[in-house]
A and B are shown apart, each in its own frame.
Chain A
Amino acid sequence: MADLMVNIKNLSKAFDSHKVLDKISLNVEKGENLVVFGRSGTGKSVLLKCIIGLMTPDEGDIVVDGQEMLKLSYSQLNEVRKNIGFLFQSGALYDSMTVKENLAFPLYRHFNLPQSEVEERVVKTLEMVSLLDAIDKMPSELSGGMRKRIALARSIITEPKLMLYDEPTTGLDPLTTKEISELILELQKKLNMTSIAVTHDLICANIIADRAIFLKDAVIAYEGTISELTSSQDKFLQNFFSTEVIKA
């Protein structure tokens, strides 16, 4: 039990009468990369938001790094959140701040680092996503793919123990997709980072996934390694992945 990073039991979430997640149970080990598949609107983003406490589930338990997320006070919750990174599907860059300020924001807030070290970390992290020349730009001056990569940089700059990626490579060209996926893999190897990544992207999933789950009809319908899922004889999975391969 001790080496579980995320432990979810019987998690349910509905909007009005529409059940999005129905008694989902899920474990993620420390240092593991889990990929979450599912068609659009099946509750992948909702799952990530429940884990970090942006949405409150209707029932169930969520334990992250030994902490019962739903029983914590606001300040305790924030302590746990300092060790979690979250990449929003939409990026959610602060549009009144420059790229540099966006990246420095979480650093200044939580780590009593001197100015010089903050700048060093910002530069280093921007280099990781190969966007150092965007350092003084405003988010509105960036392309969609650039915004995605800056958002990724902002979420990993604090080197969290757990990363929740909501579609880290959507909208990126295949080459950048490969680079970003390799970066995610490298973070896992170097920092022993655990991650849960929602993605549709087989290139990305192939590179990063230790294990994958597939959400369908509000439950985890399939689970296994990528090759197990892609070579499955199940009609639905075959259908899903064949179109995915063509897109990729």
Chain B
Amino acid sequence: MQLSKTRRGRIGERLNEYFSTIGGLSLFTVEFFKTFLVPPYEFAEIKKHMDELGVKTLPIVSVTGFIIGLVLAMQSQPVLIRFGAESFLPGMVALTVVRELGPVLTAIIFAGRVSSGIGAELGSMRVTEQIDAMEVSAVNPFKYLVVTRVIACTLILPVLTVYVIFIAIMGGYIAITLSQSMNFNYYVNSLMLSIRFGDFVPGVAKTFVFGFIVGMVGAYKGYTAENGTEGVGKASTTSVVVSSLIILLFDMVLVKLTLWLWPT
């Protein structure tokens, strides 16, 4: 009896937390759209954050992008050979990377690196009263801290994604040349032939949404952190989990939407 009671309490608490996160995030998003068009625009801050985000994530996404392309080509090659479709290899690597793997993997890595960073940074500003200090000096901390970071994330992730796609395609080429000789021009030509507008644009466009999610979740968790340093740690870890999850959910929806808008 005792046990079941505490267990029900825990589950209740979890559910409560779950719904309060969803509710809080929605309100936070509404607040974003209410404030982000109101001057003053913090262009300098946005640029500063974009620089930082780029520097912070470039090494890890480069490595990941390269390996993804490499492994994808290595894995697909025997399969395609089995079906006698080896000539589709460049196209297949490109399509997979452009439509799905590039955007989603970059976003997930971005979430791991950036969402936690924003969560920790804003979380520690919250618990050490730095956000209150901004508030009393008549600066809107939401605008200065949250809006700038969310915009920076939203703008930088698509750039990173295009870069990752490019690196992965290079990785694919290198994997192919390891086992057979293929002219680089031939590789590029054949993948260009297989990629259409309807593959590239929606793939990259959805990363604007992913970037927004990463910024928003990290900022929300940090901005609303409580309970001292423990709360900062919690803000940082939960923001990774929550943002990754929301990214995957949105991916599902956006893929469906893309297929409906650009039927193949």
Contact = CB atoms under 8 A, between A and B. Distances in A.
A and B found bound together: yes
B138 A95 contact: no
Interface string A96-109: 10000000011001
B81 interface: no
A109 B129 contact: no
Interface residues of A, number: 22
A54 B130 contact: no
Contacts of A86: 133, 136-137
A105 B132 contact: no
* Residue among A79, A88, A110, A158 with max Cβ neighbours from chain B (10 Å): A88
Contacts of A96: 121
B133 A94 contact: yes
Contacts of A232: none
Contact of B136 (A79, A81, A90): A81
A88 B135 CA distance: 12
B128 A92 contact: yes
Nearest to B124: A95
B133 A82 contact: no
Contact of A92 (B121, B130, B139, B140): B130
B26 to A, nearest CB: 20
Interface in A63-119: 74, 78-79, 81-82, 84, 86, 88, 90, 92-96, 105-106, 109-110
A4 B173 CA distance: 77
Contacts of B136: 52, 54, 81, 84, 86
A94 B137 contact: no
Interface in B43-90: none
Contacts of B138: 78-79, 81-82, 106, 109-110
Contacts of A81: 136-138
Contact of B137 (A49, A74, A90, A105): A105
Contacts of A74: 140
A109 B121 CA distance: 22
Contact of B133 (A78, A92, A109, A110): A92
Nearest to A90: B129
Contacts of A106: 137-139
Contact of A88 (B121, B124, B125, B133): B133
18 contacts: A52-B136, A81-B136, A81-B137, A81-B138, A88-B132, A90-B128, A90-B129, A92-B128, A92-B130, A92-B133, A93-B133, A95-B124, A95-B125, A95-B130, A105-B139, A109-B138, A109-B139, A158-B137
